[in-house]
Structure 1
Amino acid sequence: MATAAVSGWKRVLGANRAVWVTAAIAVVALIAGLLVGRFVVSPADASAASEAPDPGLVTVPVELGVLSNDLTLRGDVGFADSVEVTIDAASFGGAPVVTGAVPEVDASLEPLSVALAVAGRPVIVLPGELPAYRTLEFGMRGPDVVQFKEAMAAVGIGAGDPASDLFDATAANAVAALYERVGYAAPAGAEGAGEVLRAAQDAVRGAQQQLEAARADLARASGGPSAVDIRQADNAVSSAHRAVEAALAGKPLPPEDTAAALAQWNAGVGDARDQLALAQLQREQLGASVDTSAERAAVASAQQFVADAQGELNRAQEASLPQLPSGEVLYLTDLPRRVDAVNVARGQVLQGAALVVSGAALTISGGVAATDAELLTVGDRAQFDLPDGTVHEATITELAAAENPTERWSIVLEPDPLTSEQSMQLQGSNVRVMIAVGATAGEVLHVPIAALTAGSGGEARIEVVDGDPRDGERAETRLVVVETGLAAGGQVEVVPVDDEVDEGDLVVVGR
């Protein structure tokens, strides 16, 4: 069957040979013509093709939006003002063993927090800059006293006039109130002050008993007048003595010992003594006929013993007032504070830095060139990138020049409130910060700076294309005088003066 088919094709080709040859020649001619038309160019066509086409106008559309001149920098995220906390272990007397209240890392220390318990005593956190360097006692003066009074005022405890640097009875009583607030017993006064106080109280009672006995002896020795008269006169003398003692004891203490107060006190003492002299004179007149000089001398001596004993009692009472040990208070600035590291454990002896604390809020710190820093102020707002790609707000809180004018300024920003998860993700990272140093109040028309030209009077102009920019110089255009505003990122704000310009209009930036 295959042989028959081949024979058939041979008969067809043989019978129509002339037709097939003609068709093949036609096909070859067609292909040759196409190739010549594609690759062979006449001189006229070649000359026309070599000429440059008419140039069109280079244009861009007018845009509408907010223009912002942003300063970009990199900042490190972390907790600021990291400091090591050391405690005066010597003030605890014995071995400074940590007995409790050990904080956890990431814990927050606030005013009246107990940072540690050492030898059963608290280390109380208070606001302040000056470290506690001595135990405060009654009668001391200094800046540390002022700081203590200011700290007490900050936590709502009255400690006297903060402007006075005297640690007086009011300040000492504030110590007792402070320890009551944190749930610990207030520190006792000076060592042995309790025994001294009890002895002074006993001495006052003994002196008063001696005075009463001396007065009784004087009454018996006087004779003459009736017992009732003598008793009344003795009572008057005793009452006058007590008035003098009370007046003497009322001497104003610092800081109330002003000139006016002392003058008033002296006048009161003088009046009391005058009354005593009068009562004594009247009593002497009753016993003028009897020699009672010895008894009167005994009474005077007993009165002096009472005054001396009362003075010792006053001093003992002052010495027994609460003191503030330097090791039981920890002054920190910018509270609350975050605990970054804990270097002690319960049962260990306190030595070296017990804790490392920092600011409780995250901050972004970085550097900025001096020329850029002059455009910034504390309180300016900024933006930075969160790990998820969103933008978050922050505020400049510190801006400090470098000691060397050629070095970069330091800048610190405080982020707006963050979630705990965001804070954990940001801690220790480096972020991009954008600060707008100039921005329009809203959306404005703006064009590339290259679109501006100057008129004969120096006015700014833009050329708006109303026709087809592909027509080049033949295209229909108009010059529009504009007022320029903020320039940022190669764009400039424009406000038409005497013509209309709309968003999307084409302006010429080149030809």
Structure 2
Amino acid sequence: MTATPKSRRRVLVGVAGVAVVSLGIGVAAGSRISSPEDAAAKTAPPAASQITVPVARKLLSSKVVGRGDASFDGAVNIRVETAGLTTPPIVTGKVPTVGSTITEGKALLEITGRPVIGLAGVLPMYRTLSPGSKGPDVLQLEQTLDRLGYDPGTVDDEYTLSTSAAVEKLYENAGYDAPAPEERLTQAVDQAKKQVDAAKKQLRQAQSQLKAAKDAKAKDLSVQQGAVDDAQQNLSDAEQARTDAEFKAGTPLPVSEVVYVKTLPRRVDDVKVERGGTVNGVVMSASGASLVVTLKVDAETAQRLKAGMAAALELSDGTSVASKVRRVTKNGSQYDVVVAPNALTGSQLALLRDANVRVTIPVKSTSGKVLAVPVAALSSGSDGASRVEVLRNGQVELVPVTVGLSADGFAQVTPKGDAKLSEGDQVVVGK
């Protein structure tokens, strides 16, 4: 059957429509197909960009921070030398309680009814001192008496009657009778006084005989005058002997009645004796009356610290106590840093006692605000000199710097020569 012109047009239109649809599908499919190179390009990470931070102007402070234990400073064992006693060393009173304070010039214990007086000094009491004694222990005693306001005369290494008088005042202020000299010495004084009295009587008799001879107008008075001269010499010798005896019988300082402790006052930590007991070795242990905090540091840190440095103690209530480093001492492989509060209130003392607290010790600080960058911004050139990378107008510029104090992750920097670096400049710390 022959197709009409109208039917042929419909066939052509249909074919054209199919072609157009096929072309659209092909284009769409083609847009989803890419080469491996194109795929790699599209999935690659973006080009790296610099991470920057601004240069800051700030105060830098280097410090040592740690935790330390509070304790009473400088524990010592206190011994009383009882070898000089003629009776058993029985404790008869003044037994201290733990927590009480040993005060210089006061009795810390009583043995056989006599006081044991505490004095500050480094040389232990090892013998009884009395007039005529000489040595460094005498010098220490006189220095102590002089410091306490009891005039010992010339402060030297010789125990004199002035020293005896000062010792008497020491005992008087402690509330006790001064020690008595040995009986043989007092007996020697009594005997010397009798000799003086006898010599005076002899002199009076000789003078009386001389006067009688003169009244009788005797021509030769040599015998009577010789007797007077001899009597005067005997009296002078007797008076000198009495002076010597009195000197030797001056107030002594028994070895059992004084103990020297390096520093006073101190706090009693432990008592080893009781009333009625016998003294045998250590009678008590005592520490400093003031609280200190001790923290341990390594050798490198210890080299940065020294006595006198300011410090701060952070108490549990959040308050800070101004303090100072008292000493830095080696303890095995570490170092002990002892920090003492400048002053404590009663409540602060209670909080600090036996506590573990945070300690901050400023080591060094800049004088005012300085240019500072993170330590990560610093790098070294081939010559070893320090530098920072500054991002300016999209370009990185190397700026040579001198590095100062580093603290808390920042370092003080100063641009070298004609280099420019200002607050707010962006320095590269990473990519």
TM-score normalised per structure 2: 0.80
1:27: which partner in 2? none
Q: Find the aligned partners of 1:476 and 1:146 in 2 and give their Cα distance.
A: 79
Q: Does 1:159 align with 2:152?
A: yes
Cα distance, 1:145 vs structure 2: 0.4
1:241: which partner in 2? none
Q: Residues 274-313 of structure 1: matches in 2 within 5 Å? A: 287-288=218-219, 290=220, 292=221, 294-313=223-242
1:254: which partner in 2? none
Q: Find the aligned partners of 1:378 and 1:94 in 2 and give their Cα distance.
A: 48
SS at match of 1:485: strand
**Alignment partner of 2:32 out of 31, 39, 42:** 42
**Alignment partner of 1:331 out of 260, 267, 287:** 260
2:390: which partner in 1? 463
Are the aligned partners of 2:378 and 2:386 in contact in 1 as well (CA < 8 Å)? Answer: no
Are the aligned partners of 1:464 and 1:480 in contact in 2 as well (CA < 8 Å)? Answer: no
2:204: which partner in 1? 212
Q: Find the aligned partners of 1:62 and 1:435 in 2 and give their Cα distance.
A: 27
Consecutive unaligned residues in structure 2, runs of 5 or more: 1-30
Task: Give, as a single letter, the amino acid of the residue that structure 1 aligns with 2:411.
Answer: V
Cα deviations by residue, 1:175-224 (Å, 9 ceiling, x for unpaired) = 11211222221112222433432332233122212221222223324555
Alpha carbons of structure 1 residues 314 and 62: separation in structure 2 relative to 1, 3 Å? same
Consecutive unaligned residues in structure 1, runs of 5 or more: 1-40, 226-286, 467-474
Q: Find the aligned partners of 1:391 and 1:174 in 2 and give their Cα distance.
A: 45
Q: Find the aligned partners of 1:83 and 1:196 in 2 and give their Cα distance.
A: 42
1:35: which partner in 2? none
Of 450-459 and 144-153, deviating more is 450-459
Q: Find the aligned partners of 1:305 and 1:391 in 2 and give their Cα distance.
A: 78
Q: Find the aligned partners of 2:373 and 2:158 in 1 and give their Cα distance.
A: 70
Q: Find the aligned partners of 1:72 and 1:80 in 2 and give their Cα distance.
A: 21
2:430: which partner in 1? 510
Q: Find the aligned partners of 1:427 and 1:138 in 2 and give their Cα distance.
A: 46
Alpha carbons of structure 1 residues 304 and 429: separation in structure 2 relative to 1, 3 Å? same
**Alignment partner of 2:44 out of 34, 51, 54:** 51
Are the aligned partners of 2:315 and 2:358 in contact in 1 as well (CA < 8 Å)? Answer: no
Cα distance, 1:111 vs structure 2: 1.9
Q: Find the aligned partners of 2:364 and 2:226 in 1 and give their Cα distance.
A: 93
2:327: which partner in 1? 398
**Alignment partner of 1:189 out of 181, 204, 213:** 181
Cα deviations by residue, 1:410-455 (Å, 9 ceiling, x for unpaired) = 4322233233443344344444434333322233332223324678
Task: Give, as a single letter, the amino acid of the residue that structure 1 aligns with 2:195.
Answer: A
Alpha carbons of structure 1 residues 188 and 48: separation in structure 2 relative to 1, 3 Å? same
Cα deviations by residue, 1:363-414 (Å, 9 ceiling, x for unpaired) = 2334433333332222222334323344444322222356x8xx33443222
TM-score normalised per structure 1: 0.68
Are the aligned partners of 2:91 and 2:278 in contact in 1 as well (CA < 8 Å)? Answer: yes
More strand by share: 2
Cα distance, 1:492 vs structure 2: 1.6
Are the aligned partners of 1:384 and 1:393 in contact in 2 as well (CA < 8 Å)? Answer: yes
Q: How many residues are paired up?
A: 396
Q: Find the aligned partners of 1:49 and 1:108 in 2 and give their Cα distance.
A: 83
Task: Give, as a single letter, the amino acid of the residue that structure 2 aligns with 1:58.
Answer: I
Are the aligned partners of 1:77 and 1:427 in contact in 2 as well (CA < 8 Å)? Answer: yes
Cα distance, 1:479 vs structure 2: 6.5
Alpha carbons of structure 1 residues 357 and 321: separation in structure 2 relative to 1, 3 Å? same
Whichever of the two has the greater Rg, that structure is 1
Are the aligned partners of 1:451 and 1:463 in contact in 2 as well (CA < 8 Å)? Answer: no
Task: Give, as a single letter, the amino acid of the residue that structure 2 aligns with 1:492.
Answer: A
2:12: which partner in 1? none
Alpha carbons of structure 1 residues 61 and 314: separation in structure 2 relative to 1, 3 Å? same
Q: Find the aligned partners of 1:205 and 1:351 in 2 and give their Cα distance.
A: 48
Aligned-pair Cα RMSD in Å: 3.2
Alpha carbons of structure 1 residues 329 and 53: separation in structure 2 relative to 1, 3 Å? same
1:368: which partner in 2? 297
2:362: which partner in 1? 436
More helix by share: 1
Q: Find the aligned partners of 1:332 and 1:418 in 2 and give their Cα distance.
A: 24
Cα deviations by residue, 1:293-312 (Å, 9 ceiling, x for unpaired) = 55445434433432332232
% identical aligned pairs:
36
Task: Give, as a single letter, the amino acid of the residue that structure 1 aligns with 2:231.
Answer: A
Q: Does 1:501 align with 2:422?
A: yes
Q: Find the aligned partners of 1:357 and 1:456 in 2 and give their Cα distance.
A: 61
